[in-house]
Every structure is written in structure tokens, then in C-alpha cells.
Structure 1
Amino acid sequence: MFESNEPVGIIPPRSGAAFELEAGDELTVIDPEGGQVADLLAVSREDIREMLSSGRTLDYAERIYLTTHDKLYSNRSNVMLEIVEDTVGRHDFLLTPCSEATFRLCYDNEPPHPGCHGNLAAALRPYGIEEDAIPVAFNCFMNVPVDGQTGKFRVLPPLSKAGDRIVFKARMDLVIGLTACSAPASNGGSFKPIHYSVRRAEDSQ
């Protein structure tokens, strides 16, 4: 089980939150019960038009599965976050946040839900970030294997166990949006909370 002296934020199932990081801060995203995805979005505090970019990041990494020592880039090719610890090793940076349309088009028997896209939009609205600006998020713990021959992918339950975590170091001042994912397929059919903690740069000196 994850242990930390830092205060732990709790994101209830199928909801989201937003908060700020300073350059040098460390953000730990924790799956307290196991098998739960967390969508993470980073936005530059200096200019909210600069956001996390899946395309730039995967292009520079030359692979789709990112883990410890990999950097997450913005749409302007600046490093926003660096992964400094990862106890799972399987996350997704291909699929867009689930949304109202996801539930309408992909789930026949699920009631309408705003999904991670709607939850990110609500959490980030006070920072002036418009819903249509939200890009592909980094999907912590999401398990999306891709067939090397056909390119077909599947969404399988996360490999994360209770207490697993991924730790990011902020490389610029950021606004972070973070969710406990709402899509049944992404989370093995159940919905659980996500925890997070922030270690401030000045506290680690």
C-alpha cells in the first residue's frame, strides 16, 4: 500500500478535480483499490493554449507505452511532466477522454454521463479552459494493448493493483486536471476513487 507524509487528495468515483503545480513539484497519482483509470491533463499556467500533446510525446518517445524517465510534451514541444516513478508500467496515451458521446455511441445499456471529458471541462473551467480545447489526456493505469500486425486495439481492465502509483515531476508551472475514469470498459466494469498527493519542490530541498 502506498504510504506518504504528503496530504492525500481524493477524487470520488466518476468525478474530476483541478489544481496547480509549480515547476519542480512532484505529483503522485495513486490507485488505492486497484483496477481504476485516472485521466490526467496538464496545461501551462503561463498560457493556457499550451497543453499536453499525445502526438508530440509519442513522436519523440518513438513508442506508445510510456513509463519511468519518459517525458510528456506540450503542443509546443516543451516538456511539461517527467515520469520519475511507475509501479505499473502500462498506461495509455492514445484514446481521448470518455464523454457524453462515448456513452451514447459505445454503450447501449449505460445511462448518460458526462464522462472524463465533461468532468475535466467542469474542473478546468475556473481556469478559463474551454471544453472544446481539451485534448487527449494521459490515461494513468489504462490498459490498451495494440495488435502489431493489424493495429487493432482492445480496452482491457487495468493492470494496477491496490496502492500502485505513478509519479510525475512538473517541468513548468501547470494546471492539472485529474479524474477517476467513468467508462465501464476502461475500469473492468466497476468505478473506484483515485488518490493523489503533491510534494512541493521547496519541501524536497
Structure 2
Amino acid sequence: MPPETSPLASTLHEIAPRSGVAFTLDRGERLTVIDPEGEQVADLLAFVRGDLDEVISSGRTLDYASRIYLTTGDPIYSNRSNVLLRIVADTVGRHDFLLTPCSADTFRIIYGDTHPHRGCFGNLAAALAPYGVVPDRIPVAFNVFMNVTVDGGTGELKVEPPLSRAGDHVTFQAECDLVIGLTACSALQSNNNSFKPIRYRIDPARA
């Protein structure tokens, strides 16, 4: 069974390279995602705890923001147009909300791997399963620190090295009770050809 409460407030947790975790986040609590070594992406998912059919939505968030790069002050919406998270601090300012979590199929199709790693998709599916999230419910993640550029003429997407440096972080405030999935990304291209850990902490709601 999954834990019934969030991890101990303000305790620093580390996600090993190419792995993922899931936990609960209560309304008002703040989740800070930290890149301890630099140039490491973290895939973030959020589901409404009382109704797993309501989930983080790239399409609605970017539609309402009218831009693809989100930062401090921006809300992250659900598929039902409710705000799930709000970015309240950001030392980088460049993240991706276009590309799906990497998966075994990603590594097979894009990288040509014959024995592919299960990727962030597989890591998220395994971590979220105890909360009742099935793989087909996993949407496009908010890819913290991921640097994806778009050619204005052709629309070509290009994955560039993250702009994050050691100690950079992003803080999200929960606007409702959530189940969170979080990874240390498994794709070489996304992380400038190396795999590193991600750290996170949860701080209590402010009075």
C-alpha cells in the first residue's frame, strides 16, 4: 500500500539516476525539485488524489499560457481546467511541457536500442501503480529543467542540454490534494549525455 501522508516536511530526498518515485502532496504544500549536479531533467506528473481521471495537462496549460516556456507565477492546469500546481520559484526559467516521458519505445525508435531501458514512463508506471494509476493514464509530463527549442520557421523540435546548474531548483505549490510522480530522467540526449540524481523536498503549507 502507498504511504498515506507526504514525506516528512523539509526532508531532502534523492532519486537515483534513471529511476522514479511517487508520493502525496497536500493542498498548500510546496514541492521543490533540485538539480544537485546540473544538466539533469526530472519528469513531473500530478493526479488529483480523489479522482485519478483528473491529471496534469500540457495542452490546457500551454493553451491558457499562450506560450511553451513556463516559469515563476505560472499555473499548471488539469485536463478539467483546474489549477493543480503553481510555480512559485524558479532559478532556471526553461522547462519542457511538449515531449512525452521517455520509454522503452523511445529508446528503440529514436536511439535504436535493442534492449532498451524502461525509461521515465516505465519508472513512473511502477512508482504510481500502488496509488491506482495504470500506465494508460500517464500523460505528457512537465519536464523540469528540460531544454527543448522550436524552430519558428519549420517547427522542428530540438533537445538541447539543460540550462540548469548545480543547485538550481523549481518550487511548485499544490492547489489541491495530489499524487505526484517524479523521476531522474533516463534519456541521454535530454541530460547532455550523462545520468545524474534529482533531489526534492516538501515544505508545509504557509499560514
TM-score bucket (shorter structure): over 0.9
User: Pick from 172, 185, 188: which aligns with 2:189?
Assistant: 185
Following superposition, the deviation at residue 108 of structure 1 comes to 2.4
- Listed as ranges, the gaps of 5+ residues in structure 1 are none
Answering whether residue 64 of structure 2 is matched by residue 41 of structure 1, we say: no
Alignment partner, residue 6 of structure 2: none
* Aligned residue pair count: 199
2:4 is aligned to none
Structure 1 moving runs of 4+ over 4 Å: none
Tell me the residue number matched to 1:130: 134
Q: Which amino acid aligns with 1:195?
A: R
Which residue of structure 1 aligns with residue 64 of structure 2?
Answer: 60
SS in 2 for 1:177: strand
Give the secondary-structure state (helix, strand or coil) at the position aligned to 2:86: strand
Match of 1:90 in 2: 94
**1:106 equivalent in alignment to 2:106:** no
Match of 2:198 in 1: 194
2:34 is matched with which residue: 23, 30, 54? 30
What residue in structure 2 maps to residue 16 of structure 1? 20
Structure 1 partner of 2:55:
51
Amino acid at match of 2:41: V
Percent identity of the aligned residues?
66
Q: In structure 2, what is the Cα distance between the partners aligned to 1:67 and 1:93?
A: 12
TM-score scaled to structure 2, two decimals?
0.94
Tell me the CA shift for residue 110 of structure 1: 7.1
Q: TM-score, normalised by structure 1?
A: 0.95
Q: Which residue in the other structure is 1:153 paired with?
A: 157
2: CA distance between counterparts of 1:53 and 1:99?
19
Deviations 1:38-86 (CA, angstroms, capped at 9, x unpaired): 0000000010110000000000000000000000000000000000000
Check 1:129–1:109 CA distance in 2 against 1; reply closer, same or farther (3 A cut): closer
Shift of 1:112: 1.1
Between Structure 1 and Structure 2, which shows a larger proportion of strand residues?
A: 2
SS for the counterpart of 2:31 is strand
In structure 2, what is the Cα distance between the partners aligned to 1:132 and 1:13?
24
Q: Which deviates the most, 187-196 or 110-119?
A: 110-119
Deviation by residue 1:136-172 (Cα, 9 ceiling, x = unmatched): 0000000001011111110011000000000000000
Tell me which residue corresponds to 2:145: 141
Distance 1:171 1:106, change over 3 A: same
**Deviation at residue 111 of structure 1 after TM alignment:** 4.1
